[in-house]
A and B are shown apart, each in its own frame.
Chain A
Amino acid sequence: MSAGAEGAAARTRHRDERHRTGGSGRAERAAADRRRAWEAVESVADPELPMLTLADLGVLGEVEADGDGGAVVSVTPTYSGCPAMGAIRADLDRALRAAGFTRVELRTVLHPPWSTDRITERGRRLLAEHGVSPPGPAPERDGPVPLSLVPRRRALHCPRCGSDSAELTSEFGSTACKALYRCTACAEPFEHMKEI
């Protein structure tokens, strides 16, 4: 965003703020800081899927700033045991401090649970470009989960040759979030981000 556009955006936001709060320098600073905080965190890469940003992955929630050096960012963990969570929190903390925030709070949000449906379209495209088959729609969460004695059917494409003919090697891949497939057309193995 150019400085001019940024200024215009800040003025618009300031008008909105003044409308709501009666206007103050701090509210204006808070709005600008909030945007800066979002810009700082949205481009942080996921440590295990570094082709994706945390925004692409859909783990970032609300971003707040108080206009006085404080920032609060909500993060939704993917799997309960995702070992990358510590690194994600450390990376977010570092990015916010590098952007000038002196008080940083990272809030864990457990509900509603993260779902692969939160991965952005851009994220899905990047996954495929990097050889990971993107997830299909997440299963319904209401009611008892049906047992599946045969591999669940997934509409997926080999990220290398594009064939839609692949066989499941394992529902558990190199990380908890991925299943292993083998393309029956080009015979290459590939990973599929599984739906949760």
Chain B
Amino acid sequence: MTHPFAADADEQSVYAGLVDVDGDASQWAFGTGFDDPLAGVDTAVPADVDRGDLAAYCLMLGDDALVLAQRLAEWCSRAPELEEDVALANVSLDLLGQARLLLARAAAADPGAVPPLPPDSPVPAEDALAYFRDAGGFRNVALAEIPNGDFAQSTLRLLLFSVWRLALLERLRGSADPVLAAVAGKGVAEVAYHRDYAARWAVTLAQGTAESRRRILEGVGAVWPHAAELFAVHPVERRMAECGVAAAPDALLADCEPVLEEVLAAADLPRPATAGPAQARGRAGSHTPALSGLLAEMQSLAREHPGGTW
């Protein structure tokens, strides 16, 4: 089979065939446009499910993914090796895709959850949620928003996050909300790769040089205090678990502990406490100061050009 762009033997430039056949070359500057990731998906909310709660729950999981995607993207061009640069960008992209689906699900479940914009605004609902909420409106856990620190700290954060998120998504495949179940079904295969990646690096760094081990031990101290919040239960999560939509956060601890134990044992690391007294602070909109800085960078362009289309 010939390359479709090489079909014309007189083709002079390998780039010529890339230009849109309709002559709209602007797509190369502004992208091809982002349409609704749930276009054509039946987004009806099951009869016995509260729309507001469902939207709030989807925001929680969507914000976790969105905020960590942004943190991971900060590694782009700064990772220790080119391969890790590419890997972290890929993980970020997977999470961004999950965030888009979840924010779109939140907007479809309860349009009232979307920040109001002028009627002529071209901003789709998922973008309004991503770019036009302030820190207090975000529902992510603190683990997603804490600064990257060094590569060891970022590795441990990704390990904890992906072990927990994989356990969550595995359970959500059976959610009473078919859209959430389908989003989780896609995410499982993706996050399984993220978890393996982080776990292998954690072991490699812990068993590497004295310096890499020192950094991993420091990273444990910076990251693990945020573990307990993952298993704290917000009232929305409790209610959504009761009607079969959500996975109860406290039930996930039993799924996560054996996996974390396996990694820590292979890394020959002492086992820090994962459970402990904690409040679902991030779920209630209470965040560390780090989130404001992250959002300022992520949202500035969209807020400066609220009529912009991309």
Contact = CB atoms under 8 A, between A and B. Distances in A.
A190 B185 CA distance: 29
A123 to B, nearest CB: 11
22 contacts: A50-B3, A51-B1, A74-B40, A80-B187, A81-B94, A81-B100, A89-B35, A108-B40, A109-B40, A109-B41, A110-B179, A113-B186, A115-B189, A139-B192, A145-B170, A147-B199, A149-B266, A169-B83, A170-B84, A172-B90, A173-B86, A176-B190
Contact of A86 (B3, B33, B193, B200): B33
A90 interface: yes
Given A111-B182, A194-B193, 5 more contacts: A79-B190, A105-B40, A108-B38, A113-B182, A147-B259
Nearest to B179: A110
A153 interface: no
Interface of B: 1, 3-5, 21-22, 31-35, 37-41, 83-84, 86-87, 90-91, 93-98, 100-101, 166-167, 170, 178-179, 181-183, 185-190, 192-193, 195-197, 199-200, 203, 255, 259, 262-263, 266
A108 B39 contact: yes
A141 interface: yes
Contacts of A109: 40-41
Nearest to B262: A147
A9 B192 CA distance: 46
Contacts of B34: 86
Contacts of A82: 97
A94 B167 CA distance: 40
Interface core residue of B83, B97, B100, B255 (most chain A CB under 10 Å): B97
B35 A111 contact: no
B1 A111 contact: no
Contacts of A141: 185, 188-189
Interface string A104-122: 0111111111110000000
Given A108-B37, A108-B38, A196-B190, A176 B266 contact: no
A122 to B, nearest CB: 9
**7 shortest A-B CB distances, which residue pairs?**
A81-B97, A107-B40, A80-B97, A110-B182, A172-B87, A111-B182, A196-B189
Given A80-B101, A108-B39, A149-B266, A86 B31 contact: yes
Contact of B203 (A74, A144, A149): A149
B199 A110 contact: no
Contacts of A63: none
Nearest to B192: A145
A148 B90 CA distance: 19
Contacts of B83: 169-170, 172, 180
B183 A110 contact: yes
Contacts of B182: 110-111, 113
Contacts of A176: 90, 93-94, 190
A186 interface: no
A145 B203 contact: no
Q: Is the interface on chain A under 10, 10 to 19, 20 to 34, or 35 or more residues? A: 35 or more
A141 B182 CA distance: 13
A126 B39 CA distance: 31
Contacts of A150: 200
Contacts of A171: 87, 193, 196-197
Contact of A50 (B5, B37, B178, B262): B5
B97 A79 contact: yes
A112 B185 contact: yes
Contacts of A172: 83, 86-87, 90-91, 193, 197
Nearest to B88: A172
A149 B179 contact: no
A128 interface: no
A45 B6 CA distance: 13
A174 interface: yes
Contacts of B266: 149
A112 B13 CA distance: 41
Contacts of A90: 32-33
B166 A110 contact: no
A151 B200 CA distance: 9
Interface core residue of B91, B182, B187, B262 (most chain A CB under 10 Å): B182
Given A81-B94, A81-B96, A86-B33, A113 B185 contact: yes
A66 to B, nearest CB: 16
A55 to B, nearest CB: 13
Given A79-B190, A176-B93, A108 B32 contact: no
